[in-house]
A and B are shown apart, each in its own frame.
Chain A
């Protein structure tokens, strides 16, 4: 083994345990109880993590006064090898609040401001100051929001993800520009990316379109490496993400029909009626999941094809319609996950790739026998959302199991934050799981960590979950907001410093595009206010006139445990409105013949 005896710099995440003003040395303990002594240097800087579009508050000399025992901080310092170990000198400190036990990201409007800034960034980057026109949409957006000008490809999922972000931003802020972005994006997807298959009675979505000057070529089969020349379930699922979130706001029946027909595609072609679950890929001509042409994707099932329905569109479709068909489909996907994904005799990570008969696929392309940290965490928070609707013991047990094991193998307990892809098994002689590719931390993995523990705490109340949620959120809000360029970074190094190489310096890629950052802001706002800090939440809707079944607008912010929230006030076009059912979370729009804005205040009931 190597002897490490050179200086290096790194980050420590922990809680202050003592401060000695005489020596100017403080100690902090990591969340797994390892203690470090850190000395201030002449140039140590400190600040409180600021939200997007807010000025950074430097601490100056006050930083020493702020070192109260129990306060959570990040310290970036230089480690010098000395006779008795390493001396650490602080370069900078990052606090999450001005006072002990204050976490600014738990303020009532933190996530509203963040989603506002992120949606603003994407609106300006894609459409400038003019009207929203998706002909001008580009998949590639640089760090500071510049885009390609010549020939380009527009991807269905990438647009749909941004539409999801705009619709969510409208719901939280009521800013009409975001609604315009969501509605026009949905319309663009319907006009350019949709294939209504009248022979089969289903709808599917093109991978994208190639635009060369004024000429547009539709691309049916995926162009992505993993899914090449197939119709992947993943793309069909995410094609619905933006339109369905927009449907929650507008009630546009055309979107509902698209969703119904796409679900029909899942049920008729992706569903394995014999062995259960959804196949991951179809042949683009025959729509056969077992076609030899699919190669490595033939007759496969995976996390995305089974589990991504719920977070991407299905929960939102259920919230907006209350249709039991979608409720049953949700239950089916979660029951399937609980049945097949746990693999704790073999690995702390779930099994997420399967053959047709549910035997484990451990040789698939890049994934091999690796686990994606965020997929594990995403299972946990979505099981807990479903638990609010259907409190099955097995949902809670599986979510708790994930929450128990993941910090030990997927979280960086030294620096904070969640890793990316890990080897699922230890090899001979190893005591810690190896990184699949690198130790960088992606923005979307942080989202999964934050929401997993936030929702677990919100629903079940365990204080340990709140601690991990706070540590995860502190890391994200300290290091991911791009205060110069706008929105959030794709990846940071293990120590929290932005990683700006290759595709990871971009902000409009197929995976990014404002989706995860807005999903995080929306759900963190809902969960923090309604379940944790117990403060009211305001949501905005703008339904088309006369289109909602029974003129009933469903305004539930998410699936939350029964009886935890109710409507406290409603305004229609800024005037107080009394026709609502507080406990059922519905607003009656009878006798309203014009398009109106509906603002709803939802409050915690005080009980669970």
Chain B
């Protein structure tokens, strides 16, 4: 299964909706898109509700994205609607505390807006 990314702008927050697999095949494209979005946006909310699988390559891409937000200007990447499996993986690998996490996209908009 492939991956699709849709970007929507809502006030201060840029919503990135990702669908499908983030794995060894798609992680580079995910990474490129995230960096592109982060060039323009300061606050990014990543909707992961439609991601059915995230491999270690996906986790590494998330980590590198996080690193980018720490360099230079202050940027925020928050996560919304994490499927349980992905939340567990991110927790086990110690990545979860790097991001603000919201249960739903709506909660994300409220928290970041």
Contact = CB atoms under 8 A, between A and B. Distances in A.
A286 B67 contact: no
B57 A210 contact: no
A87 to B, nearest CB: 60
Interface string A306-329: 000000000000000000000000
A285 interface: yes
Contact of B63 (A199, A216, A218, A287): A218
Interface in B64-113: 64, 66-67, 70, 93-95, 97-98
Interface in A218-263: 218-221
Interface stretch (B1-9, B24-32, B36-44): B24-32
Contacts of B24: 286-287
B60 A284 contact: yes
A192 to B, nearest CB: 8
Contacts of B60: 220, 284-285
Contacts of B15: none
19 contacts: A196-B93, A197-B56, A199-B55, A199-B56, A199-B57, A217-B66, A217-B67, A218-B63, A218-B95, A220-B63, A220-B67, A221-B64, A284-B64, A285-B28, A285-B57, A285-B61, A286-B27, A286-B28, A286-B57
7 closest residue pairs by CB, A with B: A197-B56, A199-B56, A199-B55, A220-B63, A285-B61, A285-B27, A285-B60
A162 B93 CA distance: 25
B94 to A, nearest CB: 7
A220 B64 contact: yes
Interface residues of B, number: 19
Interface of A: 195-200, 210, 216-221, 284-287
Given A199-B55, A199-B56, A286-B57, A218 B27 contact: no
B39 to A, nearest CB: 16
A190 to B, nearest CB: 12
B56 A198 contact: yes
A88 to B, nearest CB: 55
Contacts of A196: 93
B40 to A, nearest CB: 21
Nearest to A209: B94
B70 A218 contact: no
B89 to A, nearest CB: 8
A219 B67 contact: yes
A200 B60 CA distance: 13
A200 B57 CA distance: 9
Nearest to B24: A286
A198 B85 CA distance: 13
A510 to B, nearest CB: 18
Contacts of A220: 60, 63-64, 67
Contacts of B95: 218
A285 B31 contact: yes
Contacts of B64: 220-221, 284-285
Which of B31, B57, B61, B97 counts the most A-chain CB atoms under 10 A from its CB? B57
Contacts of A195: 56, 93
A440 B53 CA distance: 54
